[in-house]
Amino acid sequence: MSRLGIIIQARTGSTRLPSKMILPFFGDKGILGILLSRLRQCGLTDRVIVATTTNSRDDVICDLAGRDGIKCYRGDEDDVLNRFIQAAEHYNVSKIIRICADNPFLDLRSLDELIRIGENTDADYVSYCTSDRIPTIKTHYGFWAEYVTLAALKRVVQQTGEKTYHEHVTNYIYTHPLCFKIELTPIPADLEHRTIRLTIDTLADFQIQQKIFEEVFHADPDFGLSDVVSILISIMIYMRRWTELSNQSKITVMNKTYIIGEIGQNHNGSVDIAKLIIELICRPVREEVFGLDLLPMDAIKMTRRDLKEELTVSQMNRPYDTPNSFWSHLWRASRFSRTGR
């Protein structure tokens, strides 16, 4: 008899944002801990499996799963396809709901529907999709899981050894639709007209979505897709109105807000570094999450100091390795440069 289970892929070795699974995201939980807590509502807690790697740094992933009473399987770090196959075989699962752990806004109502479809379908692969029939795993919405059979994954192994298809578990299946039975369910049409990115790949994603999650959770801890979208729309309306008001406000004879960028002492006395910073902050910025064009700086403010009068020789020679300074790498490159006024 077919047995359905949920497999979540998670590791700490992300190149763009290391340890993003366990960094404090909301309250005392990281995004994996939040996802595991939310999945308790789906009724398949005894069939939720975290598939992580055999790398020792991922011991923390298994420990976290264990504390939540969730099963954990460890496999190859790079061959994620085989990791899924082995996890499913180990826990006697033949039908798989695949979830990426960096999606804290996973819509549980859509997940329940996917589980219902999975338990009754003979398809190899089931997913939500855009109007162009692109599976949502290829988008950055962050709301949906996908369904695939163990048998289909084994067929992928038989048909290709290409690295891309072993790193991205279901990619071969939906890019070879003639070889597999595929069912796609369209997402709400109005979502496609909005710029929504709720997957977490970078530090900027993490920080922005922390704030969004806080707003959404406080409004309704049992939130769904429509609740998240409503909050996002409210934020977008506020930010657009703020931008309009900013452009209407005046300083002397100007018809827009006058924005001054604070450089302070980050130039380290180097004219070249100062020029580089000025050039960067004068660029307009495209805010991708809400689809806004943010204003560049109109002026800059710098501090005139001689670091040699403030720091000892040992302090000047010490590497400035701190995550609190975006320009720390420039400091290291220029700390022996002439410090002028």
Dist. CA 175–CA 186, nearest whole Å: 17
Q: For residue 274, name the pLDDT band (cuts at 50, 70, 90).
A: confident
Phi, psi at 203, each rounded to 5°: -65, -40
What CA–CA distance (Å, rounded) separates 250 from 245? 10
Place of tokens 């100091």: 305
In the predicted model, what is the mean pLDDT of the chain? 85
Question: What integer pLDDT is reported at residue 340 of this predicted model?
Answer: 40
DSSP assignment of 244-279 equals HHHHH--BTTBSS---EEEEETTTTT-HHHHHHHHH
pLDDT attached to residue 304: 67
**What SS3 class is residue 95?**
strand
Nearest to 54 by CA among 83, 82, 74: 74
The predicted pLDDT at position 116 comes to 95
Q: What is the DSSP string of 33-51?
A: HHHHHHHGGGT-GGGEEEE
- Which tokens go with 58? 């991922």
Cα–Cα distance between 201 and 311 in angstroms, integer?
38
Average pLDDT over residues 113-124: 96
Name the pLDDT band for 65 (thresholds 50, 70, 90). Answer: very high
Q: Pick from 277, 248, 251: which is nearest to 265 by CA? A: 277
Of all helices (H) and strands (E), which one includes residue 294?
A: strand 292-294
CB 294 within 8 A of CB 284: yes
271-280 per-residue burial string, b: 16 or more CB within 10 A, e: under 16: eebbeebbee
User: Quick one: pLDDT band at residue 303, thresholds 50, 70, 90?
Assistant: confident
Per-residue pLDDT at 247: 58
Phi, psi of 105 (to 5 degrees): -95, 15
Instruction: State mean pLDDT over 322-332.
Output: 46
> Would the pLDDT of 286 be above 60?
yes
Strand order in the sheet with 95-100: 71-75, 48-53, 4-9, 95-100, 146-149, 125-129, 182-186
Q: How far apart are CA 15 and CA 19, in angstroms?
A: 9
Q: What is the pLDDT of residues 159-216, one digit of tens each?
A: 999 999 999 999 999 999 999 999 999 999 989 888 899 999 988 889 989 999 999 9
Span 38-67, average pLDDT: 94
271-293: average pLDDT:
71
Number of helices (H) and strands (E) in the chain: give both, helices first: 13, 11
pLDDT in tens, 205-245: 899 899 999 999 999 999 999 999 999 888 877 666 656 65
Bridge-partner residues for 254, per DSSP?
251
pLDDT exceeds 90 at position 281:
no
Please state the separation of Cα 14 from the chain's center in Å.
Answer: 11
